[in-house]
Chains A and B, each alone.
Chain A
Amino acid sequence: MPTAWVDWAAGWVEWQAEGGAADRLLNIAREQKITVWRIRQRDIQLHACCRARRYGGLRRAARRCGMRMRVVRRHGLPFFLFRHRHRTGLLAGIALSLLLIWQLSGRIWITQVQGGTDELAGQVMQVLRPLGIRPGAPLPREGTEQIRLEAMEQLPQVSFLSIVFSGCRAQVIVRPRETPPPIDTLPVHLIAAADGVVRRVVVGSGTPLVSPGDAVRAGDLLISGIREEPHATRLLTARGEVWAETRRTYRFTVPLRERQLVPEGETIYLPQLYVFGLTIPLYGSGALPPDYVVDRREAELTARGRQLPVGIRCVRLRQPVERTVLRTEEQAGQMLRRQWSEQCAALQREKITVLHTRKQLDTQEQAVCLTVECACLENIAAPAQVLKNFGKNS
């Protein structure tokens, strides 16, 4: 069964034969191992297709059968190239693109670092670049084990590193090394970091001095690092959590009239073309004004969500202009609510639960203020050294 692509690459012809014995011609073709397809016989005409290379043999056979053959249509790459033989630019473009694909398919197009922070990714790439893992470098033939080991040697802050190739994309998977917490050797008390009413006490080590329902002030001793034993006094590191209900007050202010530096002035674009790790600036070398605001924009070319090694990065510099911003009370209120929700998110990150709040919005002449009084549940235990010069005296 002829496949369409192979036929197209080899070139095929649609032909028509008239008179004589069509069946005999087809049988001769079969005997000569000439594959013929789309055979249709109408009256004395026989229409069919065959490979361009085999047409000559078929024509000779047709003459023996008393038939006259003629080509109706030509298809495929050889005929396409022949038709466009005078368009040298097109042919050169095809040849160049094939050459580029052949050349670039053996090189790294993109490098991506997964896991860890952006800073760590930068450090990893800085180490891997001289080892041959960079855009434009040839794909390593002897595997990546040696590169991986050398990189691990140079990166003590990384506990795991793996280089995986997916086509021309090098994916570097890293895991940052987690340093274990320092072993406490000094005796430590746990004291209250804020005023509050104790709700829950969890003791890891040490002597608890407060119980739920007790009111404490900032600096009060909560869990002692001194343990009295029948024949001795032991100094130890107090560990534990003392959850207490505390009061916090936040005040946010948004002015109704404000002078701001807004980047709305003259704009300078500094486009850069990047090709396989090479950055080509597309602007002059004049000195840049220092007070401009930098706005970096990257227009990356992607295919199926994957970054391509070619694109344009554009750095935009904008001149700041002093402007007076006027706000309505409603706009100011919205800004205050946003500030409070950001504060709530910050408290949540610190593992502080807001139990209940009382908000008060005051409108003054020039500003709108939001005062929030809230009751929070938080761990108020903070370490404090038992003896300041314990290490030196002992």
Chain B
Amino acid sequence: MKRGKAGLRRFEKQAALPAGFLQPAARIELCERQQAILEGCSALLCCGEEEITLKTARGAVRIRGAGLLLQVLAETEAVVTGEILSVEFV
């Protein structure tokens, strides 16, 4: 299964297709440091005012900041607002 996913990823790269064209991938959109829109997240791992962690298909995304608020949590989407300091894959 893992080999199949890796193969698709390799084919995407070789065929110069946009990332996430053949298989689901997380997309993160940042609006300065005030808002982050995450698409393709599958679970909420941690929710606090200084840290919010969301699970995606290829690992977890940790958003650190101050006064963070999970504005929306839908089936595959999440919107985080507040003073965002960093976004990292863990």
A-side residues, CB < 8 A to B, are 1-2, 22-23, 26-27, 29-31, 33, 35-42, 46
Chain B residue numbers with a CB within 8 Å of A30 are: 43-44, 73-75
Cβ distance B66 to chain A, nearest Cβ, rounded Å: 13
Cβ distance A49 to chain B, nearest Cβ, rounded Å: 10
- Which listed segment binds A: B5-13, B18-26, B46-54? B46-54
A-B contact pairs, 5 of them (CB 8 A): A23-B46, A26-B70, A37-B73, A39-B70, A39-B71
A341 CA to B70 CA in the complex, in Å?
Answer: 76
Q: A41 and B44: CB pair below 8 A? A: no
Chain B 37-49, CB-CB to A under 8 Å as 1, else 0, gives 0000001111111
Q: B70 and A40: CB pair below 8 A? A: yes
Q: A1 and B72: CB pair below 8 A? A: yes
Cβ distance B70 to chain A, nearest Cβ, rounded Å: 4
Q: A2 and B72: CB pair below 8 A? A: yes
Chain A residue numbers with a CB within 8 Å of B75 are: 30-31, 33, 35
A37 CA to B77 CA in the complex, in Å?
Answer: 11
Q: B45 and A38: CB pair below 8 A? A: no
Chain B residue numbers with a CB within 8 Å of A37 are: 71-73
B79 touches A (CB below 8 Å) = yes
Of A2, A30, A33, A37, chain B has the most CB atoms within 10 Å of the CB of A30
Cβ distance B35 to chain A, nearest Cβ, rounded Å: 12
- For chain B, the count of residues having a C-beta within 8 Å of the partner chain is 16
Q: B73 and A35: CB pair below 8 A? A: yes
Chain A residue numbers with a CB within 8 Å of B30 are: none
Cβ distance A13 to chain B, nearest Cβ, rounded Å: 16
Q: A39 and B49: CB pair below 8 A? A: no
Cβ distance A121 to chain B, nearest Cβ, rounded Å: 56
Chain A residue numbers with a CB within 8 Å of B79 are: 1
Chain B 50-72, CB-CB to A under 8 Å as 1, else 0, gives 00000000000000000001111
Q: A41 and B48: CB pair below 8 A? A: yes
What is the chain A residue whose CB lies nearest that of B67?
A40
A39 CA to B72 CA in the complex, in Å?
Answer: 7
A40 CA to B44 CA in the complex, in Å?
Answer: 13
Known contacts A1-B77, A1-B79; decide if A26 and B72 are in contact (CB<8 Å).
no
Q: A38 and B71: CB pair below 8 A? A: yes
Q: A26 and B71: CB pair below 8 A? A: no
Q: A22 and B47: CB pair below 8 A? A: yes
Chain A residue numbers with a CB within 8 Å of B72 are: 1-2, 35-37
A358 CA to B65 CA in the complex, in Å?
Answer: 89
Chain B residue numbers with a CB within 8 Å of A39 are: 47, 69-71, 73
Chain A residue numbers with a CB within 8 Å of B44 are: 23, 26-27, 30
Q: B43 and A27: CB pair below 8 A? A: yes
Ranked 6 nearest A-B pairs via Cβ: A39-B70, A37-B72, A35-B74, A26-B44, A36-B73, A41-B47
Cβ distance A20 to chain B, nearest Cβ, rounded Å: 13
Known contacts A23-B45, A26-B47; decide if A40 and B69 are in contact (CB<8 Å).
yes
Q: B49 and A40: CB pair below 8 A? A: yes
A23 CA to B72 CA in the complex, in Å?
Answer: 14
What is the chain B residue whose CB lies nearest that of A1?
B72
A34 CA to B39 CA in the complex, in Å?
Answer: 16
